[in-house]
Structure 1
């Protein structure tokens, strides 16, 4: 029995699909408005500019996704996704050292984002009260001033006609460039935000690699050691016996024109990484795609939970709220955690206005420790502007020791993995036995 009538989701992103999955249990009708055309398969789409680059689904996201879509993990594997042991099959060069490698208790799924997103969408299309409307460009909100309530949207259709749709709840899942912030600003409502300029660029290609008896990994990460190293990369096996290679540079370190001016530019860029491992893999490989570029000039956390006059009937989720540094691979998993938080609030049978208020506060609680982890690393580069945590210097010193000890101590590495994959809070890294090892390392190297 549905307690509410209709919900509209702006954006068929992963966060939009997840929100629709949750709302389908509580609303009689859920409509997803997507700007792109209907996909014909697991291929990159225009509206997801980051779709051609490496993505990760962390443990918390992977488990949550299976909870929301029972059986979807097996669907991934049966259509080619790669299942690996998370610590044995990962070779990770991080802050100048290689992490330990051993057969651990966790598994990870390696696949492209289009592959993952396609399977989610196919699952969603089997839910009878959810409908996708493609080629729909949301231009404005329908707004009742007297009630301070958003009650619908204005849409430009594929034939350029304008039409209106009304609903009990509007969910903005359209991403970092959504219309909501400007729309609120035009009404004199300020959205506080935290911005950090990182000047990040991604360059990616898919490859076929020749067989190699020396390839004892499924994914290899070469992370730059700040502040002097600014270029890194990852090579990962994905569905179709292919490998996706993503090279990245902070603070606009990579000259885009140099990379794109010739077919050899990507290979030459791979030589600039701290290790030549990725170059040595792809130099004899066959590129399957051209080089794709994705830029993240800044990360931005919009603090909607602090907006006192946020209209009723409006809920924000995913990158619409917070665009993180994608290098850390947390975006999709955060979207899953937000969806699960929304599910819990709706099960508690709160009114829609109260649900939205509580949800935005819960989203802030989910994002806050992750934002803090991310900017602790980003601020290792001098010249990056933005609000710095008071304890930044200590956090950077302490986490650096955790990173280095992860190449020697299995217990510490396991704790770090649980934090990185959003299974445990960062406070577990302050366990007395870990503090003792950090201090021992410090005094030994003093």
Structure 2
């Protein structure tokens, strides 16, 4: 694509990843960003969700690493932390605290603003890329809208009081949930794509804290990350027991305390937030927050519905345009799929662009087909949980009997998987791959070895032959004992172990 121009709409994670790919194949890549970008890791108006915790799943972490070699090392050098959740996080599950032991998964913890700053630094190293700040995209120019040869040809924009136009061989929409691109295309003659939607009324609220100095932290703080899952008790309990709660570590000896729920009103004032923290079902959570110093106001988000704009179903999709990130598929943020899905879409471009002199109709159809296959993986995960709620709304609401079945089975299946993962390496690895979008829910569900491991564990549990203990009292601090290689006889792994990987 030498001598050609690509324009990226939006300079957040999705847009930066796309720019990193396009810089290898276009002479000029122009990123149009409405905000003035901060020089350091700071919040900005265009990314309000940056005030909440963000997981970079392993599939996204690898994808970004392929686009920007050295990204992970740069993120860690800037303060990010590479941790093993099964060793460095304390999980309060249905029956109490889960045992601490080594696992197959590692993650890099940091704030969203640090991830974006490191990505911006990487993009600015690319001579083909120009980031234009303070630019509002006002429309698209196109020809033949809705016909087989209909093509987006450029972008209209405004900077202050001045208007401008950029011609482009490729336009990438990375404007997020609020993108106006579908409306502009409809005005030009294209039919609006089918939208799949499901809103499970998730609300979440966060506050930032400074940790106490290391020498003043309680001895029980072996953990760096706390996760309190919603109660499965159907009796009377405080509504805070319904919260999914995170004490999430980030760079600079800080943490984001976040609570969220499905269909429950969440606190947005500091006093109400602190009171709710104290009523989360595991007292360790409130005690940890009280030991820290709050450094921000309370941030609340309600725009959490799942939405997928199915451009792949159009008979004549627009040529010259691809959509990435939330502009094509936005997920319930609880599932931490957004950044990774955006990076995976950019990686599809990286795989398809080499050797292309012309971006013809087959190119765009193939991209949409491959992107659809990639998005199917996180979408199925989001639907599996959010379709279980009676108050969910949208096109993907299922029949009452399916909601009841999902609600009845989802927690027991999750409990069985997490329990079996303590003693079966295949179950643990498979579930970690699904969580990280490396394996689909369908692939997990059709894996006989996976289900054999769960059934074997349940039989051992019934016979009293399980090895790794679990269900530690959630009214006490999570135990720091390392149960890696633990056996009933107390033998070391080198001497033999009952933990299986058959």
When normalised by structure 2's length, the TM-score is: 0.81
Provide Cα deviations, 1:35-87, integer angstroms capped at 9, x if missing partner: 10121211111100101110000111112222222222122222211221232
Q: Which moved more, 1:91-100 or 1:176-185?
A: 91-100
Distance 1:99 1:192, change over 3 A: farther
Aligned counterpart for 2:429 among listed residues 408, 414, 419: 414
Aligned partners of 1:376 and 1:395 also within 8 Å: no
- Secondary structure of 2:204's counterpart equals strand
- 1: CA distance, partners of 2:178 / 2:170: 20
Residues 9 and 125 (structure 1 numbering): CA distance in 2 closer, same or farther, change over 3 Å? Answer: same
Partner of 1:114: 113
Change (3 A) 1:28 1:396: farther
1:365-396 deviation per Cα after TM superposition (whole angstroms, max 9, x unaligned) = 11113211111111232221342569773797
Cα distance change on mapping 1:299 and 1:179 into 2, 3 Å: same
How far apart are 1:9 and its partner, in Å? 0.2
**Runs (5+) with no aligned partner, structure 2:** 235-240, 463-502
Which stretch has the larger CA shift, 95-104 or 188-197? 95-104
Alignment of 1:364 onto 2:372: yes
Matched, 1:296 2:307: no
Matched, 1:22 2:29: no
State the distance in 1 between where 2:414 and 2:261 align: 24
- Distance in 2, Cα, partners of 1:398 & 1:274: 21
SS in 2 for 1:50: helix
Contact kept in structure 2, 1:204 and 1:247, CA below 8 Å = yes
Q: 1:136 offset after TM fit, Å?
A: 0.6
**2:492 corresponds to which residue?**
none
Match of 2:465 in 1: none
Q: Does 1:221 align with 2:227?
A: yes
**1:439 Cα offset (Å):** 4.7
Give the drift of 1:318: 0.8
Deviations along 1:199-220, whole A, 9 cap, x unmatched? 2222111112331210121211
- Aligned mates of 2:231, 2:448 — CA distance in 1: 27
Which range is displaced more, 331-340 or 101-110? 101-110
Q: Specify the alignment match of 1:335 in structure 2.
A: 342
Secondary structure of 1:213 counterpart: coil
Measured after TM superposition, the shift of residue 230 of structure 1 is 3.7
Alpha-carbon shift at residue 294 of structure 1 (Å): 1.8
Shift of 1:408: 4.2
Pairwise mapping of residues 154-165 of structure 1 onto structure 2 (< 5 A)?
154-157=156-159, 159-165=160-166
| 8 Å CA contact 2:260, 2:266 repeated in 1 | no
Q: 1:207 to 1:306 in 2, by over 3 A?
A: same
Task: Quote the residue 1:241 is aligned against.
Answer: 253
Q: Kindly tell me: are residues 100 and 322 of structure 1, through their superposed partners in 2, closer, same or farther at Cα, counting changes over 3 Å? A: farther
- Tell me, in whole angstroms, the C-alpha distance in 2 between the residues paired with 1:338 and 1:94: 33
For the residues of structure 1 that align with 2:410 and 2:255, how far apart are their CA atoms?
A: 34
Are the equivalent residues in 1 in contact too, given 2:377–2:437 (CA < 8 A)?
Answer: no
TM-superposed CA distance for 1:438, in Å, is: 4.2
CA distance change for structure 1 residues 340 and 396 in 2, over 3 Å: closer, same or farther? farther
Deviation at 1:317, TM superposition (A): 0.8
SS in 2 for 1:194: strand
Instruction: Name the stretch that deviates more: 406-415 or 391-400.
Output: 391-400
Asked whether the 8 Å contact 1:342–1:359 carries over to 2, the reply is: yes
Separation in structure 2 between the aligned mates of residue 367 and residue 226 of structure 1, nearest angstrom: 30
Counterparts of residues 22-61 of structure 1 (less than 5 Å): 22-61=21-60
Contact 1:100 1:407 in 2 (8 A): no
Gaps of 5+ in 1: none
Q: What count of residue pairs does the alignment treat as equivalent?
A: 438
- Equivalent in the alignment of 2:173: 172
The 10-residue stretch of structure 1 (316-325 or 297-306) with the greater mean CA deviation from structure 2: 297-306
| Superposed CA offset, 1:138-190 (max 9, x none) | 01101123752111111111x22221111111110110110112223333512
Structure 1 stretch displaced more, 394-403 or 2-11: 394-403
Higher deviation after alignment, 301-310 or 6-15: 301-310
Aligned to 2:184: 183
CA contact (8 A) 1:316 1:360 kept: no
Q: Quickly say closer, same or farther: Cα 1:240–1:311, change in 2 above 3 A.
A: same
Matching residue of 1:195: 197
Instruction: For 1:97 and 1:377, locate their aligned partners in 2 and report how far apart those are by CA, in whole Å.
Output: 21
| Greater CA drift, 18-27 or 92-101 | 92-101
Q: Distance in 2 between matches of 1:13 and 1:95?
A: 37
Deviation, 1:194, is: 0.9
Alignment partner of 1:423 is 2:429: no
Cα deviation for residue 19 of structure 1 reads 0.5
Residues 208-255 of structure 1: CA deviation (Å, up to 9, x unaligned): 23312101212111122469664221112111011111111222x124
Distance 2:8 2:315 in 1: 23
- The 5 Å alignment of 1:237-316 reads 237-251=249-263, 253-256=264-267, 259-260=268-269, 263-316=270-323
Task: Say which SS state the counterpart of residue 150 (structure 1) adopts.
Answer: strand
* Aligned residue number for residue 243 of structure 2: 231
Answer whether contact 2:420 2:454 (CA < 8 A) is retained.
no
- Looking at structure 2, the residues matched to 377 and 62 of structure 1 have their Cα atoms a distance apart, in angstroms, of 24
Task: Please tell me the root mean square deviation across aligned C-alpha atoms, in Å.
Answer: 2.4
* Cα distance, 1:356 vs structure 2: 2.3
Deviates more, 1:93-102 or 1:389-398: 389-398
